[in-house]
Amino acid sequence: MLDDTDRRILRHFQADPALGTAELAERAGVTQATCWRRLERMQARGILTGQQAVIDWQALGYAVEVSLRITLDKTVTRAFDDFLEAAREIPEVLEIQTFLGRVDLRLSVIARDMAHYQQLYRTRILTLPHIADIEALMHVARIKSDEVLPV
């Protein structure tokens, strides 16, 4: 579905999404018209669906990031739906993932400091419905975070 030119453009674009079409074309070794046309086609096909700014929560004063691995009580029919609905109501929850594996769900939660985290954990997290087990992993550092796809 993608040819080598598309892939080359995508590789360079992923490496630096702030590039304009002219510079992207130059790095990918194609003409601007080709570059523009290829990007347009990938958008039309729903391959490239947008661009998002990445917020630096640390810079905004959120020093603590915790990954909560959660197992749900699956004897309850609506366990997943109830849990997800309630988790979406917590502003400090940045990511909600569901899994096939040893844990059912993961929440990525940010807090200003440990006291704030403690308060969130007690008043918002532990009160979420149908939790059977919960494990917390404290985030130390992000080593790689570009989320580039090896196209």
Partner 1 sequence: MSTLSLTDLDETDRAILRALAADATLSAGALGRRLGLSQPAAWRRIKRLQEAGAIKGRRLVLDHAKLGFGVTVFLGVKLATKGRVSLEDFERAVTAIPEVQTVEHILGLYDYRLRVVARDISDFERVLRRRIMTLPGVGDVEANVLLSEERRPGPL
Residues that bind partner 1 (CB under 8 A): 1-2, 10, 13-14, 17-18, 45-57, 59-62, 67, 69, 84, 88, 91-103, 106, 110, 135-151
Least distance (Å) between residue 130 CB and partner 1: 17
* Between 77 and 143, CB nearer to partner 1: 143
3-state SS, residue 12: helix
> How far is 35 from 60, CA to CA, in rounded Å?
36
CB of 139 to partner 1, least distance (A): 6
Q: Which is nearer to partner 1, 77 or 146 (CB)?
A: 146
Q: Closer CB to partner 1, residue 75 or residue 143?
A: 143
**Six token digits for residue 28:** 């990918």
Instruction: Choose between 22 and 55: whose C-beta lies nearer to partner 1.
Output: 55
Query: Which 8-state DSSP code applies to residue 128?
Result: S
Minimum CB distance to partner 1, residue 120 (Å) = 10
Min dist CB 117 to partner 1, Å, is 13
Residue closer to partner 1 by CB (options 14, 34) is 14
Q: How many CB atoms lie within 10 A of CB 56?
A: 8
In 3-state terms, what secondary structure has residue 70?
strand
Other residues' Cβ atoms within 10 Å of the Cβ of residue 91: 9
Backbone angles phi, psi at 119, to 5 degrees: -70, -45
Q: Pick from 133, 151, 139, 122: which is nearest to 10 by CA?
A: 151
Q: Which residues pair with 107 in a beta bridge?
A: 68, 96
C-beta of 147: minimal distance to partner 1 in Å?
5
